[in-house]
Chain A
Amino acid sequence: MHELSIAYSIVEIAGEEARKAEAISVSGIELDIGLLAGVEFDAFDFAWPEAIKNTVLENADRKINKIPGKAKCGRCGHVFDMQDYFELCPQCGAYENEVISGKELKIRSIDITKI
């Protein structure tokens, strides 16, 4: 259940940034999570309420931008949507593929309230 560690890291970063900005509360948080980042969304949703309890994110709306996986074929150069790492290039059948997006694991922004 590394999703709990991830949720906890998010809480920690948001708390740090909210303090820096002298915010009195955080009303929203926007995350970029790639579909190849290794995050199980059901597990993440399960961990989230536990991780945010009694923290600045307790009442924050959470928005997740799920970034689709994309890969470039190392043999023919074709760029294609990749759901799983073991997929072959749909054009030439090669497996020498490099992932070009979908591994994101980022906090894009937080929405804070200041006095």
Chain B
Amino acid sequence: MCSTCGCNQPDEAVTIKVPGEMDTEKSIHSHDHQHDHDHHHHGEGHDHTHHDHDHSHNHVIELERDILQKNDLLAERNRGYLEAKNIATLNMMSSPGSGKTTLLEETIRKIDKDIPTYVIEGDQQTMNDANRIASTGVKVVQVNTGKGCHLDSDMVHKAISKLEPEDNSLLFIENVGNLVCPSLFDLGEDKRVVIMSVTEGEDKPIKYPHMFQSADICVINKIDLLPYLKFDLEQAKEYVRQVNHHMEIIELSAQTGEGMDVWIAWLKKLVS
């Protein structure tokens, strides 16, 4: 969909590219289709409305259909494909600036020699994150969502086709930095990871409860900065458990490496 105007034209703003790939697709949605605001010529049969009692009948159709069914069905297809190939898949979500990409870079450096690793990067614009990941030597595909605020299962489906991950591997999907919208969209992942950093407030979990409620594991990043901040780590963990008592919590610093061994061990357990 065009997220600019809600029209039915396919959303050309979404691009899926590997680093170095030429930009052949239009990256800006062309608004050359007409929005007819004055009158309606679009042949939807407005001559026969429900007021036309001579020739027409009204019916109520009971649907009971999930609104996100299409996304969820495609997410299940992704999940089936990934499961069959034994690819452990993680949907990484956080606000912008929590250190997702740094965490990925450091994780790849520690794990890629043992387990082949792949990355799908989601951002509204730029190839910056994909380029950072590519420099670690792993295969990466960048999804630019344009104005979209979250990845959906269709974008991930297309990105996986482009990525061609091998069996028995690890796939990270770095979602668009946003603690709201991605929480609603299943991508077909095994685990949902929410990352918060100690430079944010400790009340992030209760400010964005939907995100923390939907996740399986919470990574608290940048703990090397704790001595310089007023961040109350215990209170933050208490808030996390209050919103989601199933949540596992790992504290680490991607920058200094502190706590990374716990995270790596957790990942390895997922793949084995």
Q: Is the CB of A38 within 8 A of B245?
A: no
Known: A85-B212, A86-B242. A111 touches B60 (CB 8 A): yes
Contact of A2 among B8, B61, B184 (CB under 8 A): B184
Count of A interface residues, CB-CB < 8 Å: 50
Q: Is the CB of B49 within 8 A of A106?
A: no
Residues of A within 8 A of B244 (CB): 85
Q: Tell whether A90 is near chain B: CB-to-CB under 8 Å.
A: no
Q: Is the CB of B183 within 8 A of A1?
A: no
Q: Tell whether A67 is near chain B: CB-to-CB under 8 Å.
A: no
Bound Cα distance from A105 to B185, whole angstroms:
12
The interface stretch among B66-74, B86-94, B108-116 is B66-74
Q: Is the CB of A1 within 8 A of B49?
A: no
Chain A minimum-CB-distance residue to B56: A113
Bound Cα distance from A112 to B57, whole angstroms:
8
Q: Is the CB of A5 within 8 A of B152?
A: yes
Contact of B35 among A53, A96, A108 (CB under 8 A): A53
Q: Tell whether B62 is near chain A: CB-to-CB under 8 Å.
A: yes
Q: Tell whether A65 is near chain B: CB-to-CB under 8 Å.
A: no
Q: Tell whether A81 is near chain B: CB-to-CB under 8 Å.
A: no
Q: Tell whether B28 is near chain A: CB-to-CB under 8 Å.
A: no
Q: Is the CB of B50 within 8 A of A27?
A: yes
Main secondary structure of the interface of A (DSSP, over half): mixed
Q: Tell whether B233 is near chain A: CB-to-CB under 8 Å.
A: no
Q: Is the CB of B209 within 8 A of A21?
A: no
Known: A2-B184, A74-B245, A86-B205. A110 touches B7 (CB 8 A): no
Q: Is the CB of B212 within 8 A of A109?
A: no
Bound Cα distance from A110 to B58, whole angstroms:
10
Bound Cα distance from A37 to B209, whole angstroms:
11
Contact of A114 among B56, B64, B70 (CB under 8 A): B56
Known: A6-B67, A8-B1, A85-B210. A54 touches B7 (CB 8 A): yes
Chain A minimum-CB-distance residue to B47: A24
Q: Is the CB of B184 within 8 A of A38?
A: yes
Q: Tell whether B45 is near chain A: CB-to-CB under 8 Å.
A: yes
Bound Cα distance from A107 to B185, whole angstroms:
17
Q: Is the CB of A50 within 8 A of B5?
A: yes
Q: Is the CB of A25 within 8 A of B59?
A: no
Q: Tell whether A45 is near chain B: CB-to-CB under 8 Å.
A: no
Q: Is the CB of B49 within 8 A of A47?
A: no
Bound Cα distance from A83 to B63, whole angstroms:
27
Give A15 Cβ to nearest chain B Cβ, in Å.
9
Q: Which of A1-47 contact B (CB under 8 A)?
A: 1-2, 4-10, 12-13, 17, 21, 23-25, 27, 31, 36-38, 47
